[in-house]
Amino acid sequence: MTLKTTRTYIEGLANGLTEQGKVTIQEGEGWHTDVTTKTITYDPISLQNLPASVAKGLLIHEVGHVKHTKNLINTPIGKANKAMHDVYNTLEDIRIDQELVKQYGNF
The share of the chain scoring above pLDDT 90, in percent, equals 18
Angle at CA 23, nearest 5°, toward 34 and 9? 115
Which residues, 6+ apart, have CB-to-CB distance to 40 below 8 Å?
10, 14, 23, 24, 25, 26, 31, 32, 33, 59, 62, 63, 66
Per-residue pLDDT reduced to its tens digit, 60-96: 899 999 888 887 766 776 667 778 878 888 889 999 9
